Amino acid sequence: MLHHIAIVGSGPSGLFCADALLRQRPDLKIDVFDRLPTPYGLIRCGVAPDHQGTKAVTRQFDRLFGGGSLRFIGNVTVGTDLPLARVAEHYDAIVLALGAHADRPLGIPGENLPGRYGSMAFVGWYNGHPDFHALDPLLDRSGVAVIGMGNVAVDIVRVLGKTPAEMATSDICSHAAAKISGAPLTDLYMIGRRGPVEASFTSAELAELGRLDRVRPVVNRTDLPDAIPSGLDPADARVKEKNLQILHEFASRSDDKPVRLHFLFHTVPEAVLGNGRVEGLKLKGQDAPLTVGTVISAIGYRTATIGDLPPADERGVIANTDGLVAPGLYVVGWAKRGPSGTIPTNRTEAKSVADRILADFADDTAPAKSGNAALDAWLRQQGLVAIDWAGWKRIEAAEIAAARQGSPREKLILWEDLRRIGATP
Ligand SMILES: Cc1cc2nc3c(=O)[nH]c(=O)nc-3n(C[C@H](O)[C@H](O)[C@H](O)COP(=O)(O)OP(=O)(O)OC[C@H]3O[C@@H](n4cnc5c(N)ncnc54)[C@H](O)[C@@H]3O)c2cc1C
């Protein structure tokens, strides 16, 4: 009988799945585990700090946790701290909502030089992910190259390009805001292997780059076709058409601003250059390298296999059939389909996996398992300090109290602070 469900990962896919399950079966008891002491996955640590509207979806999740059927168990890594086999002893069904948190390597010489960062680490640094607070990236030269032409690359150049006044209402961490505003930036490069039609950024994000106080987009008119090719899916065609229109408008600009944002299409990086640190980027077919002191790759993510969790492929996908991994074990979100799609994509998909779980258990007559009570005792015996919803609320209150004027919060960035405040009533 389906009564106790464990969800591993408190990002949007895990929480949308909990929502869809509880809407249909309010009697269920669901525990959401996360390795971080804080909930919301990439909504907190990925989504750009100046896009607070996007993060507002967390209010919906907060209401869910207030309902009494959903528990948060943070600071517990399932697979290592808490083996999956032990979770399976206590819960009737388990949903893996792990995301994909390792940067894909570039696979070119020089990528390990100081000054080259993956976007998960770089974004995590300015967004207060406790794994990356000490990244302290090199931002001491005038040029920065961002490899990738998706929305993550757009986020990074925008956050680097905005002035402190433009970031005032964001929740960018103060250490990152200070470093970025002190950086002597004059030239940002966005580099894509393919052309403007294939670029995966969306129109609203692209257009925003044209409205920044100190940044001028630089687009070479000869890179732009006059029209998009025929035969594209109509919804896709609308986005590409709009993108092309925006890029044509960028190409026509001649205004003078202190930071130039160069769009380099059909450009393949061959090597990160430098003696002891990043000093340049060699591009295929070009003799003169780009002079940059920082290279950030935003080319996708993968997952390391954790303890006794099922292995993931190179895109972080755990083998599944429409969300089913094995009897009683399911997967949602990036861990189900790979690292693509927006927050709403996870909502639709998590609902379908929730429906599948309820259908799979519809005729199940086995007695329900014990759920969290026995597991809590085991966690305590192991000396693991689980952080519950009240603990997260203490962290949140401390962050709001420390906020600089205009900003919603100053995130706690140290594991020890998060654990101390989260665990001490
Ligand atoms: C930089 C960036 C910016 C983005 N911006 C936007 C945006 O503006 N708008 C938008 O719609 N989408 C955006 N996205 C996409 C969106 O964030 C993802 O679609 C979404 O977060 C994926 O949800 P998820 O639940 O699968 O994974 P995640 O959000 O990554 O959540 C996974 C959770 O699982 C936890 N976890 C992992 N392993 C374990 C374990 N072993 N035990 C316990 N817990 C574990 C993690 O700590 C994490 O909290 C962005 C993505 C990135 C990377």
* Residue whose CA lies nearest to ligand 1 atom number 12: 342
Confidence of residue 255 (pLDDT cuts 50, 70, 90): confident
**Tokens 């998909």 — which residue?**
349
Amino acid at 226: D
The overall longest dimension of the chain from CA atoms, in Å, is: 71
Pure H helices in 115-173: 119-126, 151-161
Give 213 Cα–ligand 1 centroid separation in angstroms.
30
Residue 52's pLDDT is what? 97
Q: Which atom of ligand 1 is nearest to the CA of 41?
A: 49
* Residue whose CA lies nearest to ligand 1 atom number 7: 47
Q: How far is CA 160 from the centre of its chain?
A: 17
Secondary structure (3-state) at 388: coil
Q: Is the pLDDT of residue 322 over 90?
A: yes
Q: Is the pLDDT of residue 302 over 90?
A: no
**Residue list, ligand 1 pocket, CB within 6 Å:** 8-14, 33-36, 41-42, 46-47, 51, 54, 77-79, 97-99, 123, 152, 155, 306, 333-334, 341-343, 346
Give 285 Cα–ligand 1 centroid separation in angstroms.
36
Both tokens of 151, joined, read: 């929305």
**pLDDT mean across residues, the chain:** 96
CA atoms of 369 and 92, how far apart (whole Å): 6
Secondary structure (3-state) at 146: strand
Give 336 Cα–ligand 1 centroid separation in angstroms.
12
Decide which of 3.40.50.300, 3.40.50.2000, 3.50.50.60, 3.40.640.10 is the CATH code for 105-299: 3.50.50.60
Q: Is the pLDDT of residue 305 over 90?
A: no
**Tokens 């894509």 — which residue?**
192
Residue 424's pLDDT is what? 84
Q: Which atom of ligand 1 is nearest to the CA of 205?
A: 8
Alpha-carbon dihedral sign for residues 340, 341, 347, 349: negative
Best mutation site among 17, 31, 47 for ligand 1 pocket (most ligand atoms within 8 Å of CB):
47
Give 280 Cα–ligand 1 centroid separation in angstroms.
31
Give 227 Cα–ligand 1 centroid separation in angstroms.
35
Both tokens of 160, joined, read: 């680097």
Task: Compare 371 and 55 and report the one with higher pLDDT.
Answer: 55
Q: Which atom of ligand 1 is nearest to the CA of 82?
A: 42
Exposure string (b/e) for 142-169, b if CB count within 10 Å is 16 or more?
A: ebbbbbbbbbbbbbbbbbbbbeeebbee
Residue 369's pLDDT is what? 87
Task: Give the domain ranges of the chain.
Answer: 4-101+302-386, 105-299
Where residue 276 falls (left for φ over 0; alpha for ψ -120 to 50; beta otherwise) is left
Give the residue-averaged pLDDT of 37-66.
Answer: 96
Q: Is the pLDDT of residue 425 over 90?
A: no
Q: Is the pLDDT of residue 225 over 90?
A: yes
> CA dist 210 to 120, 245, 251, Å?
25, 12, 11
Q: Is the pLDDT of residue 409 over 90?
A: yes
Exposure string (b/e) for 378-394, b if CB count within 10 Å is 16 or more?
A: ebeeeeebbbbbebbeb
Contact present, 309 and 323 (Cβ < 8 Å): no
Best mutation site among 35, 42, 50 for ligand 1 pocket (most ligand atoms within 8 Å of CB):
42
CATH superfamily, with its number, for domain 4-101+302-386: NAD(P)-binding Rossmann-like Domain (3.40.50.720)
128-151 pLDDT, tens digit each: 999 999 999 999 999 999 999 999
Q: Is the pLDDT of residue 303 over 90?
A: no
Q: Which atom of ligand 1 is nearest to the CA of 100?
A: 30
Q: How far is CA 348 from the centre of its chain?
A: 18
Give 127 Cα–ligand 1 centroid separation in angstroms.
13
Confidence of residue 364 (pLDDT cuts 50, 70, 90): confident
Predicted model pTM: 0.97
Residue 307's pLDDT is what? 95
Alpha-carbon dihedral sign for residues 249, 254, 256, 262: positive
Contacts of 374 (CB under 8 A, 6+ apart): 90
CA atoms of 265 and 293, how far apart (whole Å): 21
CA atoms of 98 and 404, how far apart (whole Å): 32
For residue 350, the tally of other CB atoms under 10 A from its CB is: 28
Q: Is the pLDDT of residue 371 over 90?
A: no
Amino acid at 399: E
Both tokens of 326, joined, read: 């094995």
Percent of the chain with pLDDT over 70: 100
Give 81 Cα–ligand 1 centroid separation in angstroms.
21
Contact present, 188 and 215 (Cβ < 8 Å): yes
Both tokens of 173, joined, read: 């961490």
Q: Is the pLDDT of residue 207 over 90?
A: yes
